[in-house]
Amino acid sequence: MPQTRLHDFRRGSLRFDVSDTGPLDGPVVVLLHGFPGSRRTWDAVTPLLAAGGARVVAFDQRGYSPGARPRRRRDYRAVDVVGDVTALLDALEVERVHLVGHDWGGFVAWRMAAASPHRLSGVTVLSTPHPRAMLRSLVSSAQALRSLYIGFFQLPWLPEALLRPRLARLLVASGLPIDLAQEYQRFLSGPQALRGALNWYRGMWLPDRRRRRTAPDAISVDTTYIWGNGDQALGRRAAELTGRYVGAEYRFVELDENHWLPERAAPRVAQEVLSAMLQDHSGTDASR
């Protein structure tokens, strides 16, 4: 079993919990979880990547780490959560990584690839389509119906009150294994944890007046996009449109799975990430 090192990093007043597994001199892959997970989302994927020679870093993101749970929704803008990833890379003292994201972590991966491609050797996104593809699908498919719950999550305190006792049951109904569903519910029972997790839905789209320039639509980083055709939340239309927004090498991998790809399809996910990382380095070698 590869050795896992536990540590943290700080960004201002926020402290983030980090797991760091595998050889310190291996190529670095950073894993970004989504709602309602944590770095435990990747427990089945991490040892497979480390066995393939990668140094695997996963952290509990903003709103999830106990030391990084700001209460205001405006503290969950896209620019802030992407900045957390950049701060992590700086803390690790690594220039470039292969970035992997699932669910909201996938959204962060898309934004990071658009805003800071020089920090990435490649990107693998699970489930989450490119943001522009998602927007187009809202008016050209049933995606708007699939996404109605996001409107409910905008309400103050009521979503927390209704989800807190029911979260595990709802996750199991959506196809997540029961042990993980119960683990996620326990994790989000901590002080302000569920509020922090839901603030991603409330704050991610808020405009950032500190920056005038918006991130470009086209992704210039080699990209692998993995989508489960049984995903209840994210439909086929957005998945198929995603390739239009990648201007570099692009692979679309469709699995006969639901939304919970890291938890249910870990061997295939690890295989695709390692394959993408191999392509990262062969491309780097060829350019020298």
Per the CB < 8 A criterion, the answer to whether 127 and 234 are in contact is yes
Q: Report if residue 252 sits inside a domain.
A: yes
Q: Report if residue 126 sits inside a domain.
A: yes
Residue 134 lies in domain = 4-206+217-286
- Beta strand ranges found along 175-244 (DSSP E): 223-228
DSSP letter, residue 287: T
Q: Report if residue 222 sits inside a domain.
A: yes
Q: Report if residue 192 sits inside a domain.
A: yes
Q: How many whole angstroms separate alpha carbon 32 and alpha carbon 134?
A: 19
Q: Report if residue 211 sits inside a domain.
A: no
The CATH code of the domain that includes 98 is 3.40.50.1820
**Structural domain count, the chain:** 1
User: Quick check: pTM over 0.75?
Assistant: yes
Q: Report if residue 243 sits inside a domain.
A: yes
pLDDT tens-digit profile, the chain (288 residues): 778 999 999 999 999 999 999 999 999 999 999 999 999 999 999 999 999 999 999 999 999 999 999 999 999 999 999 999 999 999 999 999 999 999 999 999 999 999 999 999 999 999 999 999 999 999 999 999 999 999 999 999 999 999 999 999 999 999 999 999 999 999 999 999 999 999 999 999 888 765 545 445 689 999 999 999 999 999 999 999 999 999 999 999 999 999 999 999 999 999 999 999 998 877 654 433
Residue found under tokens 């522009």: 132
